[in-house]
Chain A
Amino acid sequence: EVQLVQSGAEVKKPGESLRISCKGSGYSFTSYWISWVRQMPGKGLEWMGRIDPSDSYTNYSPSFQGHVTISADKSISTAYLQWSSLKASDTAMYYCARHEAVAGTNWFDPWGQGTLVTVSS
């Protein structure tokens, strides 16, 4: 079974750093891209960026460029989303999702179960 399993919920203070993870199983991790998607409380879905785990090439949405870093360790089939300095406005559910590494096939399936990040002083 193809699965993405994310790390657990986090509670952080403003200014702290954080890295959350997404581990793939049941498929060749380097044959698909991984994207990260934000969902703020009660809101819709926003694409943040993606990584090609085979070479760690990344693309970011302009809305998130410079505020988050996406990385991957193909040896352990895991992608990461990290912040160097969290803000209260980063409070949200974060999902990872797999998609094909071919243009024109970039729908997301499957999705991880989500990681809730709460940033509060």
Chain B
Amino acid sequence: AIRITQSPSSLSASTGDRVTITCRASQGISSYLAWYQQKPGKAPKLLIYAASTLQSGVPSRFSGSGSGTDFTLTISCLQSEDFATYYCQQYYSYPPTFGPGTKVDIK
């Protein structure tokens, strides 16, 4: 199975900050990567698929980039509702695998 790592595992930030989360795959996955946001007690929510395509209804302050093995999720101007845990997921091959998550909390 393809292993996914994320960094950092957690970060503290303030409203208005620019935040970048990195995801790395153990082998090349082209652009077959998605990003999800999960708030406590809630189901994950799709933010980005195909590495950089914003899901309908997701604010434009979220963006994704990368291909191959290295990917980033950027939140350009952090809002209060963005404090959550973020997961990346590869769907290049079965089984689909998730990164361990990055928790973004309030500084």
Binding site for B on A (CB under 8 A): 35, 44-47, 59, 61-62, 95, 97, 99, 104-114
Contact = CB atoms under 8 A, between A and B. Distances in A.
B43 A113 contact: yes
Going nearest first, the 3 A-B pairs with the smallest beta carbon separation are: A106-B91, A107-B34, A109-B46
B100 interface: yes
B90 to A, nearest CB: 9
B44 A61 contact: no
B39 interface: no
A95 B100 contact: no
B31 to A, nearest CB: 9
Given A61-B95, A109-B55, A44 B87 contact: yes
Contact of B44 (A46, A95, A99): A95
Contacts of A107: 34, 46, 49-50, 89, 91
12 contacts: A44-B98, A44-B99, A45-B36, A47-B95, A47-B98, A95-B43, A104-B91, A107-B34, A107-B50, A107-B89, A109-B49, A113-B43
A97 B46 CA distance: 11
A106 B44 CA distance: 15
Contacts of A108: 34, 36, 44, 46, 89
B43 A111 contact: yes
Given A44-B87, A108-B46, 16 more contacts: A44-B98, A46-B98, A47-B96, A62-B95, A95-B44, A99-B91, A104-B32, A104-B91, A105-B91, A106-B32, A107-B34, A108-B34, A108-B44, A111-B43, A111-B45, A112-B43
B89 A44 contact: no
Contacts of B91: 99, 104-107
